[in-house]
Amino acid sequence: MTPTLVRPIALFVCVAVAGCSSGIGSALAPAARNSARSTASSGTISHIVIIVQENRSFDNLFATFPGADGATSGYFLKKIGTQSVPTLVQLVARPLNGGKDINHASQAYNDACDGQNTYPKTACAMDGFNLEGIDGNNAAGTYPYQYIKKSDIKPYWQLAKNFGLGDHLFQTQGSGSFTAHQDLIAGGTTIDDANCGTSQATCAIIDYPGPKKFINWGCGAPAGTTTSLLTQQGTYLTGAGPFPCLTYPTPTMRDLLDGAGVSWKYYTPPYVSKTTGALWNAFAAISAVYNGPEWTTNISIPECNVFGDISAGTLPQVSWVIPEEENSDHPRGPSTIDYGPQWVGAVVNAIGKSAYWKSTAVIVTWDDWGGFYDHEPPAFFDDMGGLGFRVPLLVVSPYVPKNEISHTQYEFASILKFVEGTFSLGSMGTTDVRATSIADMFDLNQKPRRYIPVPAPPSSTFCTDPASLKEPVDRE
């Protein structure tokens, strides 16, 4: 892994014993693993549920989790005269509710890396989070340097303690929600496009469709909506990409699942302009799905349908579960409440208490870092805007050992590679080729463990107010 920039402060050298939760931290060596773990023996995974939350870095949720690679201090670039000087700052414990929306598009990613909005990257000093900006305007200052109080996210911590936590899962690209949600169904956004240049006709879609960025990110977007591109030479092409109704040159997970006859659904809020469902519905930007019969058979609206399918015994073999805004963990303003931990807890509890438990793996991740500080630099840099920053990974299954903490380097395609391996799908041929599967977090030789419920309201609490499903999402 690319090492953290060496600072002239010997005080913060961290010994990897029980994690690095009191200082800057460093990458931990991968945990020793039983090579037979992922080989089916006594256990079989036949259902995978991928829950995608919003906008949290690993340090933001798990900075102080015992045994994990977290940090409660970091660096920001302080202007002293004409120089930008790395300056130590302590992370502040803050509540989950409320909060400001920190910029987290690719420019913010570059600023956070090293204070320079340039490609391609070769290293990240992880000291420019103060330069990211808030709500698209002012510099963020030290606000991104925070972590959430453990008492506010009890379901997440309990799932991590009772089952598995991955502390080295990196975003595929250093960008925001549109590309992240595409990465979680396709392993990347690489396309062939004439605007990429005559010498190299391959580039990646990055950031948000526009120019009206927060109306619709899929095939139902207004005419004139375009995507932006990043070339392999590091050139950012604003608005030069195609309309966000895509056919990738490589298969998506939908193609592999359909080809193998594996059932799947994408549980999502209603697809109405300016709502969560119009922005975070990855398959809304896949032409073959949006313009075909699967839009009504496989795209399940609203997302609370997952509860009905669990109780009815009709849960598909592979599911994605996308939250409504107030359940997403996305910061939405000072007077708002985040029900994300309760939402995730309710979904996982429903599975854990059902007949599906002994055959299911539930995977929870967050789509991007949300602008929040993280101390661990990207594991490597490709030519297409990645890797991005760390986000949390929770893995819940009867075949995950208690308090399993994986320090293995993962990326979003590590989740998809696990799906491919579980159902013998073959490969999409994208970032799943290079990614390490999360299969090493499972021990299929162990006796299936019972489910340990987490504090969460009943499923009937959610999707009860039709008006709430049409609230505009908070911008990024």
Q: Tell whether the model's pLDDT for residue 19 goes beyond 80.
A: no
Q: What is the mean pLDDT of residues 140-163?
A: 97
Strands 226-231 and 202-210: antiparallel
pLDDT band with cut points at 50, 70 and 90 for residue 32: very low
pLDDT given for residue 353 in this prediction: 97
DSSP code, position 51: E
Please, are residues 365 and 392 in contact by the beta-carbon 8 Å criterion? yes
pLDDT band with cut points at 50, 70 and 90 for residue 79: confident
pTM: 0.91
Q: Tell whether the model's pLDDT for residue 2 goes beyond 70.
A: no
CA distance linking residue 464 with residue 105, whole number of Å:
33
pLDDT band with cut points at 50, 70 and 90 for residue 81: confident
DSSP string of 90-128, one letter each residue: EPEEE-SSS---B--SHHHHHHHHHS---SS-S------
Q: Tell whether the model's pLDDT for residue 8 goes beyond 50.
A: no
Q: What is the mean pLDDT of residues 455-474?
A: 70
pLDDT given for residue 143 in this prediction: 96
**What average pLDDT does the chain have?**
89
pLDDT band with cut points at 50, 70 and 90 for residue 121: confident
- Of 151-165, 185-199, 389-403, which gets the smallest average pLDDT? 185-199
% of the chain residues with pLDDT over 70? 88
Q: Where are the domains of the chain?
A: 32-73+151-470
CA distance linking residue 434 with residue 430, whole number of Å:
8
What are the tens digits of pLDDT across the range 277-303?
999 999 999 999 999 999 999 999 999
pLDDT given for residue 199 in this prediction: 59
pLDDT band with cut points at 50, 70 and 90 for residue 22: very low
DSSP string of 153-219, one letter each residue: -HHHHHHHHHSEEEEEEE-SSSS-HHHHHHHHHHS--EEE-GGG-SS--EEEEEEEEESSTTT--ST
For the domain bounded by 32-73+151-470, which CATH number is listed? 3.40.720.10
Cα 231 to chain centroid distance, Å, stands at 23
pLDDT given for residue 15 in this prediction: 32
More confident residue, 43 or 327: 327
Q: Tell whether the model's pLDDT for residue 17 goes beyond 70.
A: no
Q: What is the mean pLDDT of residues 21-42?
A: 41
Q: Tell whether the model's pLDDT for residue 82 goes beyond 90.
A: no
- Of 41-45, 150-154, 436-440, which gets the smallest average pLDDT? 41-45
Q: What is the mean pLDDT of residues 157-185?
A: 98
